[in-house]
Amino acid sequence: MKSEVEKRARFDLIRYAQVWEDADLLLEALDIQPGGVVLSIASAGDNAFALLTRGPRRVYAVDLSPAQIACCALRREMYLRLSWREHLTFGGVVSGGADRLALYRERLRPALPAETREFWDARPDILRAGFMTQGKFERYFALFRRRVLPLIHGKRTVDALLAPKSREEREDFYARIWDNRRWRALFHLFFSRRMMGILGRDMEFFRYVEGSVAERILTRARHAMTGLDTSQNPYLQYILRGRYDSVYPVALRQEHYLTIRAHIGALDLRRESVESFAAACTEPIDAFNLSDIFEYMTEDGANAVFASLLAAAAPGAKLAYWNMLVPRACSPELRRRYRVRTDEARNIELLLRDKAFFYSRFTIDAVDAAQ
């Protein structure tokens, strides 16, 4: 049985070559304990790998897309067979060149499953360019950075935005220098529903969105540029520079590299929907990283998925998920049935610290431990 969104959107291309969700927030919220069992949306793998830093017994990384599973499988071998610096240069996310095809053929390809080898063997140009820069969403950011941003601000202004400043200084910089008419006009054009649907995501992902897409993202971008420390935001740095210079997401930080390698055997990649996996899973799941999957569904469809996940949840389990543009949450009836609670004040506090600033809501649902 196909998942609701699988019937409408394509899953045979690399949509995301990196994960655009704040893993620091995710790790804090889920509070995974050593030996725990985790179910995670795989996507490009970053957050599934970040979860390994907490020493779980198993991280089931699940995705409908064979392309996203291929990204995860390649990243797994990169952790095992490349140094930290080689990982970054092979992926293309830092300055500096590398013979990426040679690295792939000599050190990565022999260890890959046959299906993954076939996928990457057919895409040498993506590997040569640094595959972590080549997802549809990453290319969308590259188009913004190369074609749109120079019409608004030059390199010096971008560097000034990303330089360390106090909150008062950031707010003054944004108001006086950054927030000009061209910024607002071109942002509304480039991050409109139509442009994002065609160039960045998929029009089907906006099926249930109401109101102005660009205005809501602009509000969150302003918060990221004023309320948060821009010098410590890897997502903003990459969007504006196309590389990581000084700060990295959790899964790419040097201090975590050997820890992830040591726990890589706990990663279990599965190509299927989260609800089908949960229905067949034979062990209780302690934590769920659900990305923003619910906003691609009707309310009824979302609640059907929530029900399948909660049925597989261990007492005390936590479910983490984002809403970008569509408000989706576990229904009151399911909350009563499975004794699920949510601390709204805590969710708001976490969202205010979310460095991946596209999202309008971050939710942690906790299953009552006394069951």
Backbone angles phi, psi at 195, to 5 degrees: -65, -45
- pLDDT band (50, 70, 90) for residue 164: very high
Q: In this structure, is residue 127 part of a structural domain?
A: no
If pLDDT is split at 50, 70 and 90, which confidence band does 325 have?
Answer: confident
Q: What is the pLDDT of residue 8?
A: 46
The continuous run of DSSP H or E covering 261 comes out as helix 254-262
Residue ending a domain, choose from 187, 219, 241: 241
The string of pLDDT tens digits covering residues 94-138 is: 988 789 999 999 999 999 999 999 999 999 999 999 999 999 999
Q: CATH number, domain at 329?
A: 3.40.50.150
Residues 236 and 257 occupy one common structural domain: no
Amino acid 60 reads Y
Compute the distance between CA of residue 328 and CA of residue 335 in angstroms, rounded to an integer: 14
Q: What's the angle, vertex CA 48, arms to CA 42 and CA 50, rounded to 5? A: 155
Quote the CA–CA distance of 55 and 57 in Å, as a whole number: 7
Q: Are residues 284 and 236 in the same domain?
A: no
Q: Which of 67, 81, 64, 47 is nearest to 2 (CA)?
A: 64
pLDDT at 11: 59
Q: pLDDT class for 193, splitting at 50, 70, 90?
A: low
Examine the fold and report which residue of 241, 273, 308 is the final residue of a domain before the chain moves on. 241
Of the residues 204, 219, 241, which one is the last residue of a structural domain? Answer: 241
pLDDT at residue number 202:
53
**263: pLDDT strictly greater than 50:** yes
254 and 333 fall within a common domain: yes
Q: What distance lies between CA 95 and its chain's CA centroid? A: 22
Model's pTM, two decimal places? 0.92
Tell me, yes or no, whether 131 lies in a domain.
no
Between the alpha carbon of residue 88 and those of residues 34, 91, 347, the distances in Å are 27, 5, 32
**Over residues 226-251, mean pLDDT:** 97
Domain count, the chain: 2
Mean pLDDT of the 265-282 span:
96
* Residue 111 within a domain: no
**pLDDT of residue 145 exceeding 80:** yes
Q: What is the pLDDT of residue 369?
A: 81
Residues 72 and 156 in one domain: no
* Domain with 57 in it: 5-76+250-367
Q: Do 12 and 261 meet the contact criterion of CB atoms below 8 Å apart?
A: no
